[in-house]
Every structure is written in C-alpha cells, then in structure tokens.
Amino acid sequence: MKLIENFYCIQTEVFGNGSENIWSGVVWIKTELTRPSIQFLNADGSIRSAERKAYRKKLVVNPYAASNEYFDLNELQFLAHTYDFEIKEHDVHKGYFTSLLTNNSLYTASGTIVLVEEEKRQYLWIEFSRWKLESQPRSAGEDSLGEDTTFINGIWENPLLTDGILAKIKNTKTLQ
C-alpha cells in the first residue's frame, strides 16, 4: 500500500447560469477541490490515460439494511484505522455509525470510499463533500450535480482491503 500525495486534477466550477470555469493541474491530498476529476501521474510526471472502472460507497454502518449494502462496524473500524478518518455512532439511531472528517467542522456528511481499477492497478481514496456556501441559493441544475466542494483525505495505490470489504465496495457477493 502506497500513499499518493499529489495527483493531476481537473476542477470544474458550475455557475447558476450554466457556464463553467475549468482549471487543471497537480494538486495535493488533504486539499479542498471544486468538483474534482482525479487522474494519476506516471513516474515521468505525464498523465495516465487508461481505461478505468470506478466504484463508490458511503462510509457508514446501517444495521437496519441488508448486510451486503453497508459495511459492518468491524469493517468500518478497520477502514477508519487504515485510512485515517474517524467514526461516530448516531446520537438517536443506535447502531448506525458514520464517518467523520474531524479536522474541518464544515464537513457534516458521511465520507465516501472510491475504488478505481486502472491498468491492472487498484487505487482507493477517501473523500468528504460539502456545499461551498450553504446559505447561498442554488439552482436545480446545481443541486442535481451534488456538493461542489470535496476534501480528498488520502489516495492509496494497492490498498489494503479484505475480500468482504472489496465485495461491498464493488457491490458483489462473496462466498462464505
């Protein structure tokens, strides 16, 4: 497992009138980005352009849903310890746990784990998202795109994952 500290990123800011401001370049983990599109760099600094497959899953425990749809508490604790985020049990709904970004109180929603398969390699990143300006009215088009600010907590090449966690991220069934 190797931590990737910088990566190529295309950021897109979408305005209420539908126009966009796009900028790109090398950025670092532990940074806020605007609607990021993450790409990886070769050893010589060039951008990899390979076909990729990506999987996303919220970092939560929900004991009231099917077990293959959500992580269990042991899996979430393993991920939190391995990939440097916190977890907290919901104040009202006991047994429901969520992931937290404790170094920035503006991020209140659960994080997401993203697994990317590219050129026979696996990459994993943990991201937390929020609205840049919560009090600013948004158009329906902006809301449909989701939160506009993303904090990349970390990116790892060849991540350490159990078969059960990998199956849940990919939303597949494992043989017991």
User: pLDDT tens, 73-120?
Assistant: 999 999 999 999 999 999 999 999 999 998 888 888 999 999 999 988
DSSP-based three-state secondary structure for 81? helix
Strands (E), 59-172: 60-61, 86-89, 97-100, 112-118, 121-130, 149-157
Please tell me the distance from the alpha carbon of residue 176 to that of residue 173, in angstroms, as a whole number. 9
User: pLDDT tens, 27-37?
Assistant: 999 999 988 99
Question: What does each C-alpha distance from 45 to 1, 25, 40, 117 come to in angstroms?
Answer: 20, 11, 9, 20
